[in-house]
Structure 1
Amino acid sequence: MILRKKQLLTTLFMSVCLLQTPMLMAASDMRTEQVQFKKGTSSAVISSSIKGYEMVDYELRANAGQVMNTSLATKHGATYFNILAPGENETAMFVGSTSGQQFEGVLPKTGIYKIRVYMMRSAARRNEVASYRLEIIISGKATKTTSHDAKVVGTPYHATGKIPCTAMSGQPMGTCQFGVKRQGNGNALVTVTHNNGKKRVIIFQNGRATGYDQSQADHPKFSSSKDSDLNIIKIGSERYEIPDAVVYGG
């Protein structure tokens, strides 16, 4: 009886270890590096590589109103970079897989920016290796952000409401709830919630929709166009119509 109890405890212990191992491995796949410009310069060039599910966060401090120019050169067709604004850990203000391998724009906030280099899952699960060259340039003087909105009580958003939307092509337009976090200068994150609870975070830069948060499992095609002051956004079979007033306020 005692032997059987010992065997059971051993089995349970091994099961817990096996369940925890993927979590520990996932945590070790992310590393953080501080970007330091050489004295008298405002740029840095980093040459490195990643393998499989490895990701690197390059962190640097910049001020609202400054211009960031970041580009990634790699021969690996499934390696990209995202840019995360200060205080963000998941939602990116720039998504390389939909917007390309170069970002240039006015920074909306003062603080620590993360430039996250990663490999798409299709290549990561094959444990491929990608070498890359990352160039970061910060220029211009700091200015005060133009967003002074008060938050909607009880929410993290500067404004909430409804926008026209549809989840499937060919279906009539309905409405979806939205919440917007304005970052100034036409930069914003618009979170849209469908009636079934599904969410999309749409990224605006300088008043234009440039991508969406791809932390979800699906990665449908993104496109956007403008009709006067209306942003028409398509993500796979989904369609959203977001007025400029949502992004800028007023």
Structure 2
Amino acid sequence: MYRLIPALALLSTQAVAQAPTVSGTDGQNVLGTVPCTALAGDPVGDCPAELRRKDDGSATLAVQLKTGEVRRIYFEGGEATSSSSTSKMTTETRGDMLIIFIDPGEVYEIPKAAVATQ
């Protein structure tokens, strides 16, 4: 599992080091941060995150927003398929990054290698 950390580009932060897990997650998987914003117009910042992989190749990324809410984004075959939000979700690829937009203003920047099927 340690070999996944560089590919995930999830970076350890002091905030994550102080808390053993992101609220609402099981704490048994890769912890770090991902660039995100929860509100339209807010700057992108680092949000605590946990990536959980399943044996079938799917993955769930749980991200704790600055609003206190935990957003879950579900991946299959390396692509974002849905989220825990009922709002519209769209994705865009920019180089090696997968940018996820959830209306009205959530944005997540995820390295494609982090969610690629292994």
| TM-score, length basis structure 2 | 0.68
**Which residue does 1:225 correspond to in 2?**
92
Length, aligned pairs only: 96
Say whether 1:245 aligns with 2:113. yes
Residue 164 of structure 1: which of 9, 20, 35 is its match? Answer: 35
Q: Which has the higher contact order (CA 8 A, sep 6+)?
A: 2
Structure with the largest fraction of helix: 1
Q: Does the 8 Å CA contact 2:47/2:66 hold for their aligned counterparts?
A: yes
**Which residue does 2:60 correspond to in 1?**
189
Counterpart-to-counterpart distance in 2, 1:232 and 1:185: 23
Which residues of 2 match residues 167-178 of structure 1 at below 5 A? 167-178=38-49
Shift of 1:204: 0.5
Say whether 1:206 aligns with 2:73. no
Structure 1 stretches of 4+ with a deviation exceeding 6 A read: none
Equivalent position amino acid for 1:246 in 2: A
| TM-score, length basis structure 1 | 0.34
Q: Does the 8 Å CA contact 2:79/2:115 hold for their aligned counterparts?
A: no
243 and 186 in structure 1: CA distance in 2 versus 1, 3 angstrom threshold: farther
How many percent of aligned residue pairs carry the same amino acid? Answer: 34
RMSD of the alignment, in Å? 2.6
Which residues of 2 match residues 79-158 of structure 1 at below 5 A? 149=1, 155-158=26-29
Counterpart-to-counterpart distance in 1, 2:48 and 2:68: 10
Q: Could you tell me which runs of 5 or more consecutive residues in structure 1 were left unpaired when the two chains were aligned.
A: 1-148
State the structure with more CA Rg: 1
Residue 180 of structure 1: which of 51, 54, 60 is its match? Answer: 51
Equivalent position amino acid for 1:228 in 2: G
Q: Does the 8 Å CA contact 2:38/2:67 hold for their aligned counterparts?
A: no
